[in-house]
Amino acid sequence: MTNEIQNDTEHDDLLDDEFVSISQCHALAAQHFLEAAKQHGLAAEAYDAGNLYETHRRGYLAYRNQLLATQYAEMAAIDEDDEEFDDENSEANGQ
């Protein structure tokens, strides 16, 4: 449970910043995808043990982390597209 609180705190701290860099977005996406995978594994173990409450709880946490990971991945992709294509277009046009 402490890890979940720590992840939420780190997430909230980054949202308070004016700008989250592309590298931070990639790192956060990776972190949340890893956490989602971990939660899915724990959900499978809970299901095998017959604990449906824990199965559903872990499934929800996995889903929540997946959503956050996808949002960070999208933010990184959008920011990268803006940066790279602007630079490439400037060079291609001789600017």
Please report, for residues 7, 9, 29, 80, 87, the alpha-carbon distance to residue 64 in angstroms, rounded to integers and kept in the order given: 12, 15, 12, 24, 35
- Closest to 35 (Cα-Cα) out of 58, 52, 9: 58
Put simply, whether the predicted model's pTM sits higher than 0.75 gets the answer no
Calculate mean pLDDT across residues 39-54: 98
Average confidence score pLDDT of the chain: 83
pLDDT digits (tens, 9 = 90+) for 55-79: 999 999 999 999 999 999 999 999 7
Whether the pLDDT of residue 16 is over 60: the answer is no
What are the residue ranges spanned by the domains of the chain?
A: 27-92
pLDDT band at 12 (very low <50, low <70, confident <90, very high): low
C-alpha to C-alpha distance for 44 and 49, rounded to whole angstroms = 9
User: Dihedral sign, CA of 80, 81, 82, 84?
Assistant: positive
